[in-house]
Amino acid sequence: MKIDRNNILTILAILVFFLFVWWGSNHLTAYAVRVWEDTLIFLMLSAGYNLINGVTGQFSLEPNGFVAIGAYVTAILILTPAQKESMFIIEPMVPWLANLHMSFLPALIIGGIVTAFVGFLLGFPVFRVRGDYLAIVTLGFGLTIRVVSNNTITITNGSLGLKGLPTYTNIWWCAVWAVIAMIVIMRIVDSAFGRAMKAVRDDEDAAIAMGINTLWIKQIAFVTAAFFEGVGGGLLASLITIISPTVFTFFLTFELLIIIVVGGLGSMTGTALATVVVVWGSELLRVVEQPMNIFGLHIPGIPGMRMVVFSILLIIMMIFAREGIMGQKEFSWDWIFNKIKGKRA
Amino acid sequence: MLKVKDLNVYYGVIHAVKGISFDVPNGKIVTLIGANGAGKSSTLKAIAGLVKPKGSILFSDKEIIRHPAHEISKLGVALVPEGRRVFINLTILENLRMGGFNKKISELEPLYEKMFELFPILKERAHQKAGTLSGGEQQMLAIARALMSEPDLLMLDEPSLGLAPLIVSEVFDILRELNKQGRTILLVEQNAAQALKLADYGYVLENGAITLEGEAKGLLENDEVRKRYLGED
């Protein structure tokens, strides 16, 4: 890595971010810390998702499947054999998995690698189709994972799910992994592979004619995203301490989709902004689900009102700001310096 | 250089190219002319590997019909697709970089210089997005992008499509110049007059089959061609 102005500023920004994390973990309320943990995990998930959907332009709907795989693998690895034995009451767990136990970091990494491998295998059939068809087959994958986790009782404990997971996840785990994910993904976007991904997005046939092996390019995006979504799933599992087939539904994918569209398809810094806006927004909007008295009119609390408000916001965005917060642009130090210089001139 | 024998292209039940055979000799310009739907573009796509044809395509005496598209490109065949198809959200430099995707980084710099010499307009706008270029400039960029892989055979699909006559002559002048530098060119055109004036040899395609072939000069004077493609009585 070159030591130039931009890289130094980036490292400083990351240090400031960790300073904020350190300050926050001491001074913020437990509730706020928890929401920030959610935000950072979602940042990781949506950055990976944006690499496929935004940068490579392959509209797909599989992240809930990837997150579920990562969550299950990590959960199985961090549970102690005794816990597993008491939990699997319908059928006992397969022995070699039941006796497997390790600490959090290797469990997360293995969760990521297993998910990446599943993504790699999945890439071959799904990338035979493009456009809407790709969305449909990847949506099918998400649903398949749910059915599989429901029925492989000796591995996942079926619909009972896994509970009592040790709570290793804290703000530091989330922050470090989010930063790693952002750095790795942004470096991929800036590399020759990233340019090829954008070429595939702009015109796949032309990209093929240029001698680009587009299947390979899409696989790089897919496997990278799968890895980080798997790790994110592991973090999420240890954060909510209980996972079952119904936890990772299509709504998770939908939420990530909102984030990357709001942030701007193809913009990682936009995704970061949008994650904060959407995750915090949906927390702050809890107000609208409470019983309210408006000018003497009593409205009982309606669960799901948040989603209504969000959907309306999304519609308004699609009409007035179709590109999202950042469009395809990235925040860059050069841009800031040019702004400052421009004002002086 | 390129020998096509009994080439067939099917789209489902539609038989688009019906067993055509032709040669593209080294250092020559060969053109395929014909009306809409005659199978010209399908033929080019088949050679580039974008559709899976039946028959035989020998490139430098090597059978390439089973090769995937990205390997055909590595062997030295470049396609300028119909309708330009530049990467509109990438800058001009990035577009050129994509054209030289299989080149080493050290090889790229002199190639950029060569392209900017050939197409000065691209140099001025190197860091502009390709979507901001005009149609003619995009066509220049599409040709430059294809040349970045230093192909032995350059194939162009309707480079005159949607361009003003003046720009068309400019594009054809560049093709003539490239040919003088020793580049072999396979040109597909609807603009039969321009294409035949430029080419050494021509084939007339009708409904997926070759109906006429010969020296381009000869075809220009052929009554049948004049009537059908040059609009003379």
Q: Which of A56, A127, A195, A210 to mutate to test the interface with B (most CBs of B within 10 A)?
A: A210
For residue A213, the chain B residue with the least C-alpha distance is B70
ipTM: 0.88
Report DSSP state, residue A287.
Answer: G
| Residues B149 and B102 sit within 8 Å (Cβ to Cβ) | yes
Return the residue of A nearest to B105 by Cα. Answer: A192
Spatial CB neighbours of A208, under 8 Å, sequence gap ≥ 6: A214, B49, B50, B69, B70
- For residue B36, which phi and psi values (nearest 5 degrees)? -55, 140
Confidence of residue A136 (pLDDT cuts 50, 70, 90): very high
Q: How far is A204 from chain B (nearest CA, A)?
A: 9
Q: Does residue B90 sit at the A interface (CB-CB below 8 Å)?
A: yes
pLDDT in tens, chain B (233 residues): 899 999 999 999 999 999 999 999 999 999 999 888 889 999 999 999 999 999 999 999 999 998 999 999 999 999 999 988 999 999 999 999 999 998 888 899 999 999 999 999 899 899 999 999 998 899 999 999 999 999 999 999 999 988 898 999 999 999 999 999 999 999 999 888 889 999 999 999 999 999 999 999 999 888 888 888 877 76
What SS3 class is residue B202?
Answer: strand
**Distances from the Cα of B67 to the Cα of A53, A100, A255, B51, B74, angstroms:** 29, 46, 42, 11, 11
**Residue B2: how many CA atoms within 13 Å on its side-chain side?**
30
The b/e string for B144-163 (b: 16+ C-beta within 10 A; e otherwise) is: bbbbbbebbbbbbbbbbeeb
What is the per-residue DSSP string for A303-326? TTHHHHHHHHHHHHHHHH-TTTTT
Average pLDDT over residues A205-227: 94
d(CA B23, CA B12): 27
Separation between Cα atoms, residue B91 and residue B132, nearest integer Å: 9
- What counts of helices (H) and strands (E) characterise chain B? 10, 10
Pairwise CA distance, residues A42 & B140, whole Å? 44
A242-253 tens-digit pLDDT: 999 999 999 899
- The whole-angstrom separation of Cα B24 and Cα B21 is 10
Look up residue B37 and give its DSSP letter: T
Contact B70 A196 (CB under 8 A): no
- Give pLDDT, residue A270: 93
Chain A residue numbers with beta carbons less than 8 Å from the beta carbon of B98 are 195-196, 199, 207, 210, 212
Count residue pairs from A and B with Cβ separation < 8 A.
66
Rounded to whole angstroms, how far apart are CA atoms B192 and B208?
17
B95/chain A closest Cα distance in angstroms: 8
Q: What are phi and psi of A162, to 5 degrees?
A: -110, 130
Pairwise CB contact (< 8 Å): B98 & A207: yes
Residues of B in contact with A201 (CB under 8 A): 89
Q: Cβ(B17)–Cβ(B207) under 8 Å?
A: no
| Closest CB to A208 among B50, B145, B146 | B50
- Residue B202: CB atoms within 10 Å: 28
In the stretch 141-200 of chain B, residues with CB closer than 8 A to chain A read 145-146, 149
Question: Tens digits of per-residue pLDDT, A148-200?
Answer: 999 999 999 988 999 999 999 999 999 999 999 999 999 999 999 999 999 99
Give dist(CA A283, CA A306) in Å, integer: 9
Q: Do A211 and B48 touch (CB under 8 A)?
A: no
Nearest by CB to residue B85, choosing from A198, A203, A214, is: A203
In chain A, what are the domains? 5-249 (1.10.3470)
Domain assignments of chain B as residue spans, ordered by start: 2-229
Of the options 3.30.420.40, 3.40.1180.10, 3.40.50.970, 3.40.50.300, the CATH number for the domain spanning B2-229: 3.40.50.300
Nearest CB to A206 within list B85, B89, B102:
B85
Interface with chain A: mutation pick from B93, B98, B132, highest number of A CBs within 10 Å: B98
CB contact under 8 A, B149 and A207: no
A→B interface, C-beta within 8 Å: 192, 195-196, 198-199, 201-203, 205-214, 328
Global pTM? 0.90
The answer, yes or no, to whether residue A228 has pLDDT greater than 70, is yes
CB B145 within 8 A of CB B86: yes
